[in-house]
Amino acid sequence: MSQEAAAGLCLTIDLNALVGNWRRLKDLVAPAECAGVVKADAYGTGIAMTGPALFAAGCRTFFVAVPEEGAALRAALAAHEPSETAAIYVLAGFFAEAAELYREARLSPVLGHFGELQSWRKWPGRDKAALHVDTGMNRLGLSLADTEALAEAGGPGPGIDLMISHLACADEPEKPLNERQRERFAHAKALLGLPRASLANSAGIHMGRAYHHELCRPGIALYGGASHPEAVSDPVVTAEARILQVRTGHPGETVGYGALETLRRTTRIAILSAGYADGYLRAAGSSDMASGALVSIAGHLAPLLGRISMDLISVDVTDIPEGLALPGKTAELFGPNVDIDAVARHAGTISYELLTNLSRRAHRRYIGGVESGGPS
């Protein structure tokens, strides 16, 4: 028996679509380099497969959140780095107590405050690192005052060849903070004189060449999520849930926990084997007051009914031909027929959260990726 046959939710991850998205962005930002952000297990798609697929396509710079992710990526790339090595930057910075892992996996920390910079300078195993400058996010990074002080003290020192910052509102291009951050970043870049700089994330890439600098670092755009009104990205993940049962409900009856949705007609209800435990967020459900997300069954769209449960979703399949919505068949929760960003909007969130919340109990199936030696 296959694992897929025993799963309630199956995820098909199209490595060719992933690579196609990266190549589209690479061409858009040239002559700047296009990196790949693969934190959070490559946004839920699986770093062990997506990392090598991107490397085989020509991606040579990667960003992860924490050193453990960096080590996992380096291990995944081991068989694909015979003559050329990828640069792996750790956005969370330098964990001094895990210094040996940085050395073994050849990880470059993104340093974000003076104490961390000093700790890294004292470490005898140091090699390359990046410097994070805060230009308006107020999360990680040296303030502009700290950056000016660092420049007056002689700069960050040898081994640091990249400066980064992060845009807070690039998905809303009309916001004035975007231009302020661009100006602050350009000021910091001039002060420090480092050979490379990186400001643009997925959305920032579409803000224009003034935001590109030497390196762009797309994340969600690689995985099929919308990042900017002008962004084009092919779906990478298709989530399909098994239909467990099809039942009939009658006018006046309610569906699901809390009895939030009342049936207005005789209704065929399909029960799907997925729920919020699989990362399909509870808030995407439906009620008498507001419609929920849609699913696709054999190319026909159908609306959710009532609340999403931990392991189950109810769907109105009354308007779908009976032979198409049957136990054992599947419903697409998102993918080529159901926009993941539309589902996210119904849940009051973003596609990033849907992808990174996908449960490990979902069966993952990879297609494409012949260049990386993956399944065809």
Query: What amino acid positions are annotated as catalytic residues?
Result: 39, 257
Tracing tokens 């004035």 back to the chain, one arrives at: 176
Q: Are 71 and 48 in contact (CB under 8 A)?
A: no
For 98, residues 6+ apart whose C-beta sits below 8 A from its C-beta are: 67
Using left for φ > 0, alpha for ψ between -120 and 50, and beta otherwise, residue 297 falls in beta
The DSSP letter of residue 283 is G
Cα separations (Å) of 119 from 96, 122, 158, 159? Answer: 7, 5, 14, 14
Q: Is 193 exposed, middle or buried (0-12, 13-18, 19+ CB in 10 A)?
A: exposed
**Is the CB of residue 306 less than 8 Å from the CB of residue 289?**
no
Report the distance separating Cα 218 and Cα 171, nearest Å.
Answer: 13
Residue 294 identity: L
Instruction: Report which secondary-structure segment, H or E, holds 147.
Output: helix 144-152
The rounded Cα 13 to chain-centroid distance in angstroms is: 13
Q: Among all chains, which residue has been given the structure tokens 């199956």?
A: 10
Where does residue 248 rank: exposed (0-12), middle (13-18), buried (19+ CB within 10 A)? exposed
Q: Are the C-beta atoms of residues 246 and 325 closer than 8 Å to each other?
A: yes
Question: Can you tell me the distance from the alpha carbon of 224 to that of 343, in angstroms, rounded to the nearest whole number?
Answer: 13
Cβ count within 10 A of residue 145: 8
